[in-house]
Amino acid sequence: MTPVGATNVGSIVINFDAELRTNSLLSDKAADKSPNGYAEATYGAASRVLHGRALGRGEEMGGFRLGSTVVLVFEAPEGEVGETEGWNGEGQWRKGGWNWGVRNGQTVKVGEALGWVDDKA
């Protein structure tokens, strides 16, 4: 997941990074040292296996302070769409692949599953 903050609108708080300051050039010490005016926060060293910070189910990663969003990019198995089987009434069911549990534009609540991988291939 990548938190994305709107310029001059709000800020992002990451619960496990007390040093992170966003949208605040004066208080962001790492950004003050950069000639570009910003610094990238990475957490790859937090886990050699995951290459990032592990979060438990339902654990809050952080929060937004006005005008921000999350971009979720991931890889999932494509699966197969059968000719007669695999139709769930709203969309195609991908046997052995990723299936969305939400619709475009739907409001998602904390802890709600976005989808699942059908492992019954």
Q: What percent of the chain has pLDDT over 90?
A: 0
**116 — pLDDT class (breaks 50, 70, 90):** confident
Mean pLDDT within 10-16: 78
79 vs 94: CA distance, rounded Å: 5
> Pick the residue with more confidence: 81 or 11?
11
Q: Per residue in 104-115, pLDDT tens?
A: 888 888 788 888
pLDDT (tens digit, 9 = 90+) per residue, 28-70?
555 556 666 666 777 777 777 767 777 788 888 887 777 666 6
Q: Where are the domains of the chain?
A: 1-72, 74-121
Structure tokens at 65: 């302070």
Q: Give the span between the Cα atoms of 10 and 29, in whole angstroms.
A: 18
Query: What is the pLDDT at residue 60?
Result: 82
Looking only at the bridges linking them, the beta strands covering 68-71 and 62-65 are unpaired
Which conformational region is residue 18 in: left (phi greater than 0), alpha (psi within -120 to 50 degrees), or beta?
A: alpha
Helix ranges (H only) for the chain are: 29-33
Distance CA 39, CA 20 (A): 10
The model's pTM is: 0.42
